[in-house]
Structure 1
Amino acid sequence: MDDVVRARDAALEALADIEPDYLRETLDDLLADAAVTPGVLSLVTARALDPDVDPDDVVDRAAGVQLIYEGLRLTRRLSHEEPWESAATAEADIDADMDVLAAEVLVSRGFSLLSHTGAAGAAVEVVRAFGRDQTQRNREGIAPEAAVALDRSLEVDALELAVVAGTTAVGGDPPAELLEYARELAADYDGEFPPPGRALPETTADRIADISDRAVSATDR
């Protein structure tokens, strides 16, 4: 099983007990076409740092990262589109309400998966940063380029959380250079992660391993 399938399946499995069925189906639809770059990066990071790591020991963390990102991404879209103002029918209004509930469930379940891991604090900070950024972004008179930069912060924060989740899964903390690499990856995507099936560059694992080796060497001096 490749990392894209593993990350998506884990995220779907984490939501399997959600009721009512209509809400779970909404969540499943959101994840079916989602780019799973954050979840995949968690898996790749753990394996790059420890080639012997059991994927089953990391997959819940990957799902947690992915769900938090998807929930916040949906919240961002709803904040920008304000679908209640344009809803032409009662059904459209209900769909918008369902999306809000779905976003809350995604973030909540993601937190649950990360709450007892070394990535818990980082997950909290991602949500806090998102709230600050979107509050600032929605202020009147903000320059368009500033609004774009604030929106893109979510992708940066999601990939930083991913490397934290992957690193702590194998018993360590990410060095500053690894967090910087996560920010570089997010910048390369220009605010949007690639379509499903093309999650990360092929060199990602090698870069992560190299960064880790240099950090360990520097510590041993």
Structure 2
Amino acid sequence: MEQAELARRGAREALADIDPPRLADRIDSVLAAASMAPGALVLLIAQRADPTVDPEALAERAAGVQLIYEGLRLTRTLAHEEPWADTDEQTAANLDVLAADILVSRGFYLLAMTDAADRAVETIRAFGQDQTHRREPDADRAALDANLERGVLELAGVAGTSAVDPPVPTPVQGALDRLVREAEAPLPDAAALFRGTALLPSADGHAPPSATDP
């Protein structure tokens, strides 16, 4: 879908200055495999609230949300798999740690001057707290992990709605709320996640009917 590709392009442009090449290649491989759902959601919400909005003008917002998600998701993977314990060759794992840090910090930089900045801070802080609680013996690890997806979708909602003046249509807000409630880790492909929801306009510009959307 075009929103996902615009978000991916924006994310790559935001990281075009990364060196050395091996680190840049690793980051690009992360973005190539990403679902782009968070970034696409920013654009979809803004477009559904204001059909005249230029999505290109919001590419940095979309990229900011996407990069934060990719960085935290990679951090979560590293924390769970602990690759340092399986091999003496730690170069790849160390590279991933650096890549995760860059993704999160660059994503926050893109959102720092927007109305989504405070929510971005909350999302990052909540992730750290959840991963700490995850170590407790009686922790619901699946639920704590999925809090990242829920938090990032909420962040995307704030980034999208704050980018335009018109209020978000009720069906669109309902679709967003449902996605947040039902989010699981990791997020699926953007087109699959939004299919059949009020977030995707039909050919005539109206939201498709859905029995599951409020």
What's the TM-score once normalised by structure 2's chain length? Answer: 0.86
Moved more, 2-11 or 159-168: 2-11
Report the Cα distance in structure 1 between the residues aligned to 2:198 and 2:80, rounded to whole angstroms. 32
1:131 aligns with 2:128: yes
SS at match of 1:51: coil
What does 1:98-117 align with in structure 2 at a 5 Å threshold? 98-117=95-114
1:142 aligns with 2:138: yes
How many residues align? The count is 203
Mark the runs of 5 or more structure 1 residues left unpaired by the alignment.
Answer: 211-221
Moved runs in structure 1, 4+ residues, more than 6 A?
Answer: 172-180
Residue in 2 that maps onto 1:213: none
**2:146 aligned to which of 135, 144, 152:** 152
SS at match of 1:118: coil
Distance 1:181 1:137, change over 3 A: farther
RMSD: 2.5
What's the TM-score once normalised by structure 1's chain length? Answer: 0.83
Mark the runs of 5 or more structure 2 residues left unpaired by the alignment.
Answer: 208-214
Do the aligned partners of 1:43 and 1:58 also contact (CA within 8 Å) in 2? Answer: yes
Residue in 1 that maps onto 2:70: 70
Distance 1:135 1:179, change over 3 A: farther
Report the Cα distance in structure 1 between the residues aligned to 2:158 and 2:66, rounded to whole angstroms. 13
Residue in 1 that maps onto 2:24: 24
SS at match of 1:204: coil
Residue in 2 that maps onto 1:203: 197
Do the aligned partners of 2:48 and 2:169 also contact (CA within 8 Å) in 1? Answer: no
Do the aligned partners of 1:156 and 1:183 also contact (CA within 8 Å) in 2? Answer: no
Do the aligned partners of 2:175 and 2:199 also contact (CA within 8 Å) in 1? Answer: no
Residue in 2 that maps onto 1:12: 12
Do the aligned partners of 1:7 and 1:63 also contact (CA within 8 Å) in 2? Answer: yes
1:55 aligns with 2:55: yes
